[in-house]
Amino acid sequence: MSEIHTPQRVAVIGGGLAGSEAAWALAHRDIEVTLFEMKPERFSPAHTESGLAELVCSNSLRSDDTTTAVGQLKREMESAGSLIMDAARKTRVPAGKALAVDRHAFSAAVTSALEAHPRIGLRRQEIRSLTDPALSGFDAVVVAAGPLASETLAADLVQRIGGEDLYFYDAIAPIVNTDSVDMDVAFWASRYNPEEKDYLNCPMDEATYYRFRQALLDGDKVPAREFEKSVHFEGCLPVETLAERGELALAYGPLKPVGLEDPRTGKQAFAVVQLRPENAAKTMCNLVGFQTKLTYPEQKRVFRMIPGLEQAEFVRMGSIHRNTFVNAPRVLLPHLELRDMPGVYLAGQITGVEGYVESAASGFWLGKFLGGRLHGEAVDLPPVETAMGALLGHLSTPNKHFQPMNVNFGLMPPLGVRAKKARRKELYAERADRAWQHWLEGQTTEEQA
């Protein structure tokens, strides 16, 4: 790989959230970008459509409340011109306090923007290794192939960085046709806000709940491959794995009934399964928190035990796939360049961030950093008081058992003041916003110099 001196060309491998964001940020710094995407030539086990930025797990980008860490991260990205956040705002669907999108419209918006940019060339081609002839002549290479990087590319990367092969399993929730739900049982409401019709709710009485939990425990699951151990990310546990943790684990987790009143009885049910609309027309809904390892036949059998879903038509079944990530503190520099391979950078979930927004954020940061570096500018890491800086800090903090992480206020330095829990969140967000604006102003000044 040539030493970087002048702004020329960057190869970005992978057209997911991180790759799309990195390509966009680089192109806006007048860098010529070639974006390699293996679809539709080849699909991962979880992808089914040819568009870029395909959302395979959920259509939710989680909380939009700026007093949450992920809400603050969204605000930071938006203030600096994030492509992913712009597309999400344009394609959002009602989801209470969450930012959810019509995933098809979202992918189309991102794809159209990237295809139309004069400094981005989209090549539908699989990159099988970092020595692939297609990468010749680039000043830098960004590997944003996602947690489902092709086995050949992942194997090549592991061979080059050495160390342990880190991975975890991520399961996908099923989607049903809304008109197949029994509306004599299910009802539209948002938790604590019954007047908001953002979620479709299926209430369970106590006996039904326990029968359903037992069915989850007894149902046939897709086994892990013989040479792999199933290691699940705590924030995305398969529903049957959560059921194994105790009789009421589901009732206190994704099936918690708090804030939802069954209009048939005027009372709170023992448990409630929530379905979130997939599009603005609410023609499809996904089962919130129902990531699963159950086989397809078992999914139909067990999930149709849910009141209101007895005749459910499944648009997409849940599935399970392997997510690959590196030991970032050991193999990456703080700005996401491989320690042993100058000029090669990683972005997205393969770095050890977890979540749609976090993946996009890492690509966003890398695009800004690399764009500045190629122009001979020094781009400082965002302060750890910001959501972006805290997330990047997680990737550079040594940890004996490094694991993927969502952004959270616990990654930031302590406030140094005593305050009630709700106020602490506000203080973290207010401090983060001030720090981000100060950092952003400094970067803008540098770019204009």
- Annotated binding-site positions: 14-19
Q: CA 227, CA 312: separation in Å to the nearest integer? A: 36
Give the whole-angstrom CA distance, residue 189 versus residue 196. 5
Whole-angstrom distance, CA of residue 246 vs CA of residue 183: 30
Report the alpha-carbon distance of residue 273 to residue 181 in Å, rounded: 12
- Nearest residue to 222 (alpha-carbon basis) of 201, 233, 238: 238
Question: Nearest CA to 406 among 252, 288, 155, 235?
Answer: 235
> Which residues are known binding-site members for FAD?
14-19
Question: Exposed e or buried b for every residue in 240-274, given b needs 16+ CB within 10 A?
Answer: bbbbeeeeebbbebbbbbeebbbeeeeeebbbbbb
CB 52 within 8 A of CB 87: no
Pairing state between β 32-37 and 92-93: unpaired
The pairs formed by 337-340 with CB atoms below 8 angstroms and a separation of 24 or more are 338/160, 338/161, 340/160, 340/161
Burial class (CB in 10 A: 0-12, 13-18, 19+), 401: exposed
| Amino acid identity, position 240 | E
Quote the tokens at residue 436.
Answer: 């981000």
